[in-house]
C-alpha cells in the first residue's frame, strides 16, 4: 500500500467510478444487438467475437480496479440509491415531456388546427395513461 492521503483516495475512487460508468455505457451500447427502442442511435457493427473481447476487457478492468482499491485500503461503500426511486423519477420526467406535447405548450411552434389540437391531446393522453399504469405498478 502506498502512502495516499484521504484526498488522493477519494480522487482514485471517484475516477474509478467514472471509468466504471463509461464501461457500463460501452456494455449498454453493445446491447444494440437486442434492439428494444425504435430510436436506436447506433448501427450494430460489432461481431459476436468482438463483443466478447470488449466484455472481457471491461471485466478485467473492473477486476483490476477492485484489486487496486483493496490494495490501497479504499472502501467502495454500499449502494445507496434505489432502482425504484430512479424509475419513479424517470417516469415523472417522461410525463413532463409528454405533457409538453399538449397544444397549449406548442403555441411557439405555430398555430394548430382543431384536428391537430385533438390529435396532440390524444397522443399525450394515451402515452400518459401508459406511464400512469407503469407508475401504479411500482410499490410505494
pLDDT, tens digit (0-9, with 9 covering 90-100), for 112-125: 999 999 999 999 99
Torsion over CA of 52, 58, 63 and 66, rounded to 10 degrees?
-160
pLDDT at 98: 98
Nearest to 30 by CA among 39, 42, 16: 42
- How far lies 58's CA from each of 108, 115, 129, in Å? 46, 52, 39
Grid cell locating 132: 400512469
pLDDT, tens digit (0-9, with 9 covering 90-100), for 11-23: 999 999 999 999 9
Q: Domain residues of the chain, as ranges?
A: 6-71, 83-137
Q: Note if the pTM is more than 0.85.
A: no
pLDDT, tens digit (0-9, with 9 covering 90-100), for 73-102: 999 999 999 999 999 999 999 999 999 999
pLDDT at 34: 66
* Residue 1: pLDDT band with limits 50, 70, 90: low
Residue 127 burial by Cβ neighbours in a 10 Å radius (0-12, 13-18, 19+) = middle
User: Which 8-state DSSP code applies to residue 33?
Assistant: G
The Cβ of residue 106 has, within 10 Å, a number of other Cβ atoms equal to: 15
Amino acid at each position: 500500500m502506498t502512502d495516499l492521503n484521504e484526498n488522493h483516495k477519494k480522487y482514485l475512487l471517484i475516477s474509478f467510478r467514472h471509468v466504471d460508468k463509461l464501461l457500463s455505457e460501452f456494455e449498454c451500447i453493445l446491447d444494440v444487438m437486442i434492439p428494444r427502442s425504435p430510436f436506436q442511435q447506433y448501427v450494430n457493427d460489432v461481431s459476436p467475437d468482438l463483443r466478447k473481447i470488449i466484455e472481457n476487457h471491461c471485466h478485467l478492468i473492473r477486476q483490476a480496479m477492485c484489486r487496486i482499491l483493496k490494495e490501497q485500503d479504499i472502501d467502495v461503500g454500499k449502494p445507496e440509491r434505489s432502482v425504484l426511486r430512479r424509475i419513479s423519477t424517470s417516469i415523472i420526467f417522461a410525463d413532463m415531456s409528454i405533457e409538453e406535447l399538449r397544444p397549449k405548450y406548442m403555441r411557439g411552434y405555430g398555430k394548430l388546427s382543431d384536428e391537430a389540437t385533438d390529435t396532440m391531446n390524444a397522443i399525450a393522453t394515451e402515452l400518459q395513461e401508459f406511464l400512469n399504469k407503469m407508475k401504479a405498478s411500482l410499490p410505494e
